[in-house]
Amino acid sequence: MAALKVIVCGSGIAGIEGLLRLRRLAREHVELTLLSPADEFVYRPLAVLEPFTQASVRRYPLAGIAADTGASWIRDSLIRVNTSANRVIAGRGSALPYDALLLAIGAGESPPFAHAQTFTDRDAGAGFRAIVSEIERGEVATVAFVVPNWPVWSIPLYELALMTAQRTRAAGRTPRLIFITPEVRPLKAFGQAAGDVITRLLADAAIEFHTDAVAAVPEPGIVAFGGQRLHADRIVTLPRVDGPAVQGLPAGAGWFVPVDSHCIVPGTGGRVFAAGDATDFTVKHGGIGSQQADTAAAGIAHLAGVGHRPPPLSPVIRSMLLTGDRPLYLVARVVDGIGWSSEVYEEPPWATDAKVVAEELGPYLAGLAQRQAA
């Protein structure tokens, strides 16, 4: 049986996790191609530390990852998928044949408010570091942290607020910090236990907390919510996550790619899989994307004649919450987009203290670090 031609589109956490899992599961049964316009895999989960420390995101050349997995790397972007001909149309016009396709191209970002500073892990340090410095110099007295009413991963904004409180207290400053979220309880995706913990942490840090509040920023320095108009020297928010709207594939709400419980895109003959932020899965988180990629990789391996048909995705969120003091570790099983049976730990209940847990990527990056240190 000829090797299955598999294209992995995207070089974020989900894409690299899928590539690594495919190589482990199927080996010579698959012919792997990585399609990505980037030349590096950028590991961003700890980007929120950049405004407070000298830490920076870690970068890994895609050429090395492709070599380690035996994949051919085409430095180009995805333009369209022709599911009737099993072809990927790339940016330079080439038509790449596939037997199976894993779409992990991530999502777009856009500012939800015209008059707020958008914190993004793509440029984490510069903008918010300036706000911290302004607070420490006594030039900024009030900062509002506003979660937009759109699918976002809100933990970084909670971390920014908590670390700002800890940093400015240490500098002898007591700014007014306000946190506003449309969720009826904080970190809804993690369930009740995590929500109770974050509420306590915010209270201990003297951060004003408003839930079930859909906010607008109608003009500079003004946050409007629940009939209130709040004045703030600085307003910080997170980017809105926008679906990629891939030509040739169905699009769900917000132009995200719909997937079933096996991470298969409907209407593609069972040959197109998707994982990560590009999908219509409610929770946008690198750990969930990696679990989707693992599920998709098992399905592709089955197409290649390796293993039984895999079980459906049973997503579990595992994440580190940075607090400015000791981190906390959150775990929740996701059912219909909501966290159930959530638990909070002071020590990591998984093998490492990684902020995002990915079964293939974590050990692989640890191995790279050991090789670089040797």
In the prediction, which pLDDT does 353 show?
67
Class of domain 4-107+243-311: alpha beta
Does the pTM surpass 0.85? The reply is: yes
- Residue 21 has a CB neighbour count (10 Å cut-off) of 25
Give me the residues paired with residue 150 across strands: none
Write out the E strands in 57-204. 58-61, 72-74, 78-82, 87-90, 95-97, 100-103, 108-110, 117-118, 142-146, 176-180
Q: Fold identical between 4-107+243-311 and 110-240?
A: yes
In the prediction, which pLDDT does 211 show?
95
pLDDT tens-place string over residues 71-118: 999 999 999 999 999 999 999 889 999 999 999 999 999 999 999 999
CATH classification number, 110-240, choose in 3.50.50.60, 1.10.1740.10, 3.40.190.10, 3.30.300.30 = 3.50.50.60
Which CA distances in Å does 338 have to 53, 186, 192?
33, 12, 10
What parts of the chain have a pLDDT lower than 70? 1, 54-55, 124-125, 336-340, 353, 374
In the prediction, which pLDDT does 191 show?
76
Q: Tell me the CA end-to-end span of the chain in Å, nearest whole number.
A: 40
pLDDT tens-place string over residues 164-175: 999 999 889 999
Task: Classify residue 27 as exposed, middle or buried by CB count within 10 Å of its CB (0-12, 13-18, 19+).
Answer: middle
Domain boundaries, the chain: 4-107+243-311, 110-240
In the prediction, which pLDDT does 335 show?
72
In the prediction, which pLDDT does 374 show?
64
